[in-house]
């Protein structure tokens, strides 16, 4: 049996075992090539009460719904990925289960209505990355360890999209998909630049975004060149503790606070309304098994009357190297009202 036949046999055998075992495999294919399977399983029990409608996680445009009292269980954040690597070449595919509309999705009369959503699909070679992944403008290092998926979305840059990215040390330059909510055809991709400084004390980054948009229908969307920026970082403090922060400013539109200004609404001159958004989070390790994160995010768009905030506090326990359980309480507030939430989660990393 040659190496190709042996590798194929191992792959087929892996695909026939249980999902957890399958997801944990690294398979050598020969010629310095390998396949990997990973991801995690996460189950959430979430209770929301107040004046903001239930969602599986808070974003930037949560609906006003007086006297909300709702509890749901779901596994939507669970995900799996497939990786291929050979020398300096790497390819990644990843999916989760957030594709259907919040909070109900398709009917759950017989089975849970959770459909797949593509998260990442890219290839990387040396300093180049091509495909769909996190925007270069997104401050990944500043995202807190939260049970509410992604933490304070309301104040963050949170975008995955197709792009061409070049990285050289701390410098990252990218051309990214120039999409708009209104579907207007754009002749220029979005341009992003980020520079990161990493030291023993942590890391700090600055990023800039330039968009050249055309609103040919004059429907209130942005027109012309738009600029935005952010500053973000993760700083080590005492022991294993860390402080994370981000600040977003300028005409970010759909990039910041998902849903708040996804249509890139603009003033009479075609300039996207300025957003001011920031997050801060502190993670403390009580001991080797227990840790907590307290986080806060706030966002304002004066012209739209948007003034929204999210605060959360959790307690997590590492039951084993792969299994984490925990609980989180918090409050989400908009200009219309607010809701409290309680979330209990279990996460098993494959």
Question: Any bridge partners for residue 282, and if so which?
Answer: 243, 294
Give the C-alpha separation, 266 to 72, whole Å: 37
Give the chain's largest Cα–Cα span: 71
CA geometry: angle 67, 260, 271, nearest 5 deg:
150
Do 253 and 106 form a contact (C-beta atoms < 8 A)? no
The pLDDT of residue 106: 61
pLDDT at 14 over 70: no
The pLDDT of residue 216: 64
The pLDDT of residue 102: 55
The pLDDT of residue 16: 38
Look at 305 and 16; give whichever has higher pLDDT: 305
pLDDT at 40 over 70: yes
Distances (CA, A) of 155 to 187, 211, 222, 250, 311: 29, 20, 21, 13, 11
pLDDT at 151 over 50: yes
- Model pLDDT for residues 19-35, shown as the tens digit of each residue: 333 345 788 888 899 99
- Which residue from 158, 190, 181, 175 is spatially nearest to 277, judged by alpha carbons? 158
**Any idea how long the chain is?**
350
Do 231 and 141 form a contact (C-beta atoms < 8 A)? no
Q: Spell out the residues 6+ positions from residue 177 whose beta carbon is closer than 8 angstroms to its own.
A: 161, 162, 163, 189, 190
The pLDDT of residue 107: 65
pLDDT mean over 285-303: 97
The pLDDT of residue 206: 98
pLDDT mean over 116-130: 96
Query: Which CATH architecture describes the domain 35-349?
Result: Beta Barrel (2.40)
- Work out the mean pLDDT of the chain and round it to a whole number: 89
- Which residue from 26, 112, 131, 116 is spatially nearest to 80, judged by alpha carbons? 116
CB under 8 A, 24+ apart: contacts of 175-178: 176/135, 176/136, 176/137, 178/211, 178/212, 178/213
Residue 31: burial class (beta carbons within 10 Å; 0-12, 13-18, 19+): exposed
The pLDDT of residue 2: 46
- Model pLDDT for residues 166-193, shown as the tens digit of each residue: 999 999 999 999 887 766 668 899 999 9
Do 98 and 75 form a contact (C-beta atoms < 8 A)? no
The pLDDT of residue 13: 38
Percent of residues, the chain, with pLDDT higher than 90? 74
From the CB of residue 180, how many other CB atoms can be counted at a distance below 10 Å?
A: 19
For residue 268, the 8-state DSSP code is T
Query: Could you tell me whether strands 323-333 and 64-74 are parallel, antiparallel, or unpaired per DSSP bridges?
Result: unpaired
Q: What are the extents of the domains in the chain?
A: 35-349
Give the C-alpha separation, 118 to 77, whole Å: 12
- Model pLDDT for residues 205-246, shown as the tens digit of each residue: 999 999 998 876 666 778 899 999 999 999 999 999 999 999
pTM assigned to the model: 0.89
- Which residue from 247, 218, 222 is spatially nearest to 303, judged by alpha carbons? 222
For residues 127-166, b (16+ Cβ closer than 10 Å) or e, as one string?
A: eebebbbbbbbbbebbbbbbbbbebbbbbbbbbbbebebe
pLDDT at 37 over 70: yes
- Model pLDDT for residues 56-112, shown as the tens digit of each residue: 999 988 899 999 999 999 999 999 999 999 999 999 999 999 886 555 556 677 777
The pLDDT of residue 3: 44
């Amino acid at each position: 049996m040659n190496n190709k036949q042996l590798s194929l046999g191992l792959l087929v055998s892996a695909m026939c075992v249980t999902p957890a075992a399958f997801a944990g495999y690294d398979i050598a294919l020969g010629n310095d090539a390998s396949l990997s399977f990973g991801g995690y399983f996460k189950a959430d029990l979430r209770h929301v009460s107040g004046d903001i409608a239930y969602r599986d996680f808070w974003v930037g445009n949560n609906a006003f719904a007086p006297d909300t009292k709702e509890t749901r269980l779901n596994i939507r954040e669970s995900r799996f990925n497939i990786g291929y690597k050979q020398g300096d070449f790497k390819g990644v595919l990843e999916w989760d289960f957030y594709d259907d509309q919040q909070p109900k999705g398709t009917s759950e009369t017989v089975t849970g209505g959770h459909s797949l959503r593509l998260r990442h699909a890219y290839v990387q070679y040396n300093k180049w990355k091509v495909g769909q992944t996190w925007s270069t403008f997104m401050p990944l290092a500043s995202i807190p360890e939260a049970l509410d998926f992604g933490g304070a979305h309301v104040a963050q840059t949170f975008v995955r999209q197709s792009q061409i990215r070049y990285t050289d040390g701390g410098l990252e330059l990218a051309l990214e998909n120039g999409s708009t909510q209104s579907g207007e055809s754009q002749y220029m991709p979005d341009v992003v630049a980020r520079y990161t400084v990493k030291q023993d004390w942590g890391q700090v980054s600055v990023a800039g975004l330039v968009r050249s948009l055309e609103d040919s229908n004059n429907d209130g969307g942005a027109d012309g060149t738009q600029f935005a920026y952010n500053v973000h970082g993760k700083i080590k403090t005492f022991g294993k503790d860390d402080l994370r922060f981000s600040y977003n400013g300028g005409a970010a539109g759909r990039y910041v606070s998902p849903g708040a200004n996804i249509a890139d609404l603009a003033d009479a001159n075609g300039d996207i309304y300025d957003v001011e958004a920031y997050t801060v989070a502190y993670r403390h390790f009580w001991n080797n098994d227990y840790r907590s994160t307290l986080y806060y995010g706030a966002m304002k768009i004066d012209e739209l009357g948007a003034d929204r905030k999210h605060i959360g506090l959790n307690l997590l326990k590492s039951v084993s190297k792969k299994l984490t359980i925990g609980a989180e309480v918090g409050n989400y507030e908009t200009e219309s009202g607010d809701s409290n939430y309680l979330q209990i989660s279990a996460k098993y990393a494959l």
